[in-house]
Amino acid sequence: MAQNVINFINMKTKIFLSLYLLAGLAIHYQASGQCEIKNRIYPDGSMMFYMEPVNFYWTEAKSLKGGIVTDKESFYLALRPIPFPDKPEGKKLKSDLVLSLSDGIEYQLQHFDTRYLEGDSIMEILFLIGEDALDKVRMFEVINAKIDMKGEEGIRTYVFKLHKSALREELECFSKKAEENKK
């Protein structure tokens, strides 16, 4: 009887340790996958570093993906709103972005560029993150982003329902990578 109890406890311990190790590997894999920095050379010769865009907002009618992009000198917020206007109208979108953070303050990010990617199937708007806002994005979650889509629609507000801390996490990844490269 005592031997059966010991065998049962040993089996439970082995199962627990196995699950614990699997969970640890899954967390490690997920954390390292989120910090995978890619690069792209644009037609103008500039090289930008980025991570796969994350979903910030999604409904059947509209969605917003994006993330941090850098040229190693400045940081930009790249946003991919859906739906988006055709190229001639989209190129006219030059308004600054209003980004609300969890500190209760709205920050204005300067429009930098509007690009159409992958055969014009994706519109990406880049906004320069100024030094004052950069420090705050590193500390606080994003609440919403307001993009002036012009025309009849006007300002489109995306309330970040998903991945509110993604920008902060991406900036941390870029900082860690920069530190690693200094060594």
Compute the distance between CA of residue 43 and CA of residue 124 in angstroms, rounded to an integer: 15
67-71, 102-106, 120-124: range with lowest mean pLDDT: 120-124
Compute the distance between CA of residue 159 and CA of residue 145 in angstroms, rounded to an integer: 7
Residues 99-110, mean pLDDT to the nearest whole number: 97
For the record, the structure tokens of 144 come out as 């919403």
Compute the distance between CA of residue 16 and CA of residue 18 in angstroms, rounded to an integer: 5
DSSP letter (8 states) at residue 48: E
Output the pLDDT for position 118: 87
Q: What does the pLDDT look like over 34-45, one tens digit per residue?
A: 699 999 998 888
Q: Please determine, for residue 74, whether its predicted confidence score (pLDDT) is greater than 70.
A: yes
Residue of 71, 166, 176 lying closest to 126 (CA atoms): 71
Contact in structure between 54 and 167 (CB atoms under 8 Å): no
Compute the distance between CA of residue 61 and CA of residue 57 in angstroms, rounded to an integer: 11
Contact in structure between 112 and 87 (CB atoms under 8 Å): no
Q: What does the pLDDT look like over 125-171, one tens digit per residue?
A: 999 999 999 999 999 999 999 999 887 889 999 999 999 999 999 99
Residue 106: how many other CB atoms lie within 10 Å: 13
For the record, the structure tokens of 157 come out as 């507000």
CATH value of 38-182 in 2.60.40, 2.60.120, 3.30.300, 2.30.29: 2.60.40
Q: What is the mean pLDDT of the chain?
A: 85
For the record, the structure tokens of 121 come out as 């199937």
Question: Could you tell me the CA-to-CA distances from 147 to 15, 60, 74, 111, 125 in Å, in that order?
Answer: 51, 19, 21, 10, 10
All structural domains of the chain with their residue ranges: 1-34, 38-182
Q: Please determine, for residue 61, whether its predicted confidence score (pLDDT) is greater than 90.
A: yes
For the record, the structure tokens of 36 come out as 């995978």
